[in-house]
Amino acid sequence: MTSRLDALKGKFTQIKTPKRDANTDTAAIQRTVKDIIANVHERGDAAVREYTLAFDKADVADFEVTHDERLQAISDLDPQTREDTEFAIANVRRFAEAQLKTILPLEIESLPGLHLGHRVIPIEIVGCYVPGGRYPLLSAPIMTIVPAKVAGCDQVIACLPPNAHRAMIAGCHLAGADRIFRVGGAQAIAAMAYGTETIPAVDKIVGPGNAFVNEAKRQVFGQVGIDQLAGPSEIFIVADETANAVMIAADLLAQAEHDVRTRVGLVTTDPKLAEDTLKEVEKQLQDLPTADVAGVAWKDYGEITLVEDEASMIAYSDFIATEHLQVHTRDPQAIAKKLRNYGSLFIGELASVVYSDKCCGTNHTLPTMAAGRYTGGLWVGSYIKIATHQWLDERGVAAVAPAAVRQSTTERLEGHRRAAALRLSPQQLSAV
């Protein structure tokens, strides 16, 4: 079988090679999550409360955050944090509104009397999982909740772990969540999928989480829709000899501090840049306060690949299909037009992933694990359905029914043939 890398044989050398993925007991995770989902489905709030106490060490009497608690969380924000949060919300909303304007309803008369079209319909109830995480990621609720509100969803609920930073509750409120619940982990996904006495069942679940959240989303898919299955964060930078090693190292480490399993890499045509970046990463790690995380990610999953030319650089990047892809080249706009597999693209050295992660307006919930080969990230379109419709007058029936009758006869589907023929006059049917 021909692999995607066959075309690159002999055209790249790894200056720093990542270790293989650590063995994860996925079977154990699957079993645990399966039990959680079944228990929550059967016992509702009681099971959620038990799992919250067991996993989060929190005895939560009332899952829902009250209106007064929401207002208090906002009051507790320092003024600058609130201003920055509202700045990010405004940017994300502005971009989502612009995207929504590109998604239009359709009506055409395909043949005389045959009218076809589609409607743009918001999903009714959406559940947004907001991770607690290692740090209070204030941008996380913005990225999932704001586009849902722009799309016009009737109800947007948010679930976040009970031990999440209080500022996260404020973020959910400011972003527009209709209801907020102090429930995290796989039990939150199960509760949103099937509903409990307190938490409503939703139509679609969005938002990233840990391995248990991810597995829970996988198992409830079908009962509800999901946005995607997300792995640890990723960043790759494609660069030539004009790039700045200091800047590249800073951007790689900024993403690496998310998680010890973050995948970070450089793909370059320049040997000197490869070596300089390797040295610069080690230098910056010496005084990085989050080096206990970023350093492990770099050691285990960091990658520097040297390629022989621009075409190989583009091909290797498309093979990786990274979540975040930065372009640091002499003509980044030209290179950008040639790239096709990525979650989000950052064109030129001034466009850092950090800006998108926090506040510039594009969504930071993006495909990982090479899913960028077939999908983009979360966006306002993730919260709507494009549903087709059709209507016919007698001319439309005369145009399509004879072919439908003949095809149904060929397929030996008599019920289909009768339904297709029913709308034809005896004279029309005799001519079929």
Mean pLDDT of 300-323: 96
Residues 203-260: pLDDT tens digits?
A: 999 999 999 999 999 999 999 999 999 889 999 999 999 999 999 999 999 999 999 9
**Which position among 323, 328, 349, 364 bears the catalytic label?**
323
Residue 1 has pLDDT above 50, yes or no: no
| Domains of the chain, CATH where assigned | 26-103+122-227 (3.40.50.1980), 231-376 (3.40.50.1980), 393-430 (no CATH)
The residues, ordered by sequence, that sit 6+ positions from 68 with a Cβ below 8 Å of its Cβ are none
Of 173, 324, 328, 364, the catalytic one is: 324
Location of structure tokens 């938002």: 207
Give the pLDDT confidence of 142-174 residue by residue, as tens digits: 999 999 999 999 999 999 999 998 899 999 999
In the prediction, which pLDDT does 12 show?
84
Mean pLDDT on 401-413: 97
- Residue 62: left if φ>0, alpha if ψ -120 to 50, beta else—which one? beta
Q: What is the pLDDT of residues 375-405, one digit of tens each?
A: 999 999 999 999 999 999 999 999 999 999 9
Please tell me the predicted confidence (pLDDT) of residue 3: 64
Distance of CA 172 to the CA centre of its chain: 18
CA pair distance 88, 95, nearest whole angstrom: 11
Task: Check residue 59 and give its pLDDT.
Answer: 95
Confidence check: pLDDT of 54 > 50 = yes
pLDDT, tens only, 9-35: 777 889 999 986 655 678 999 999 999
Quote the pLDDT of residue 230.
86
For range 31-47, the mean pLDDT:
98
As a whole number of angstroms, the distance between CA 165 and CA 138 comes to 9
173 is catalytic: no
d(CA 223, CA 36): 15
Q: What is the mean pLDDT of residues 337-358?
A: 97
Element (H, E) at 237: strand 234-239
Banded pLDDT at 416 (limits 50, 70, 90): very high
C-beta of residue 268 within 8 angstroms of C-beta of residue 15:
no
**Residue 213 neighbours by CB under 8 Å, 6+ apart:** 129, 131, 185, 186, 188, 189
Closest CA to 111 of 409, 405, 416, 403: 403
68-100 residue pLDDT tens:
999 999 999 999 999 999 999 999 999 999 999
Cβ 175 vs Cβ 196: under 8 Å? no
In this predicted structure, what is the pLDDT of residue 134?
67
The closest alpha carbon to 50, from 69, 31, 63, 67, belongs to 63
If you average pLDDT over every residue of the chain, what do you get? 95
Is 86 among the catalytic positions?
A: no
What pLDDT is attached to residue 20?
A: 63
**Average pLDDT over every residue of 260-286:** 97
The CA distances from residue 95 to 101, 124, 170, 336, 345, in Å, are 10, 22, 22, 20, 15
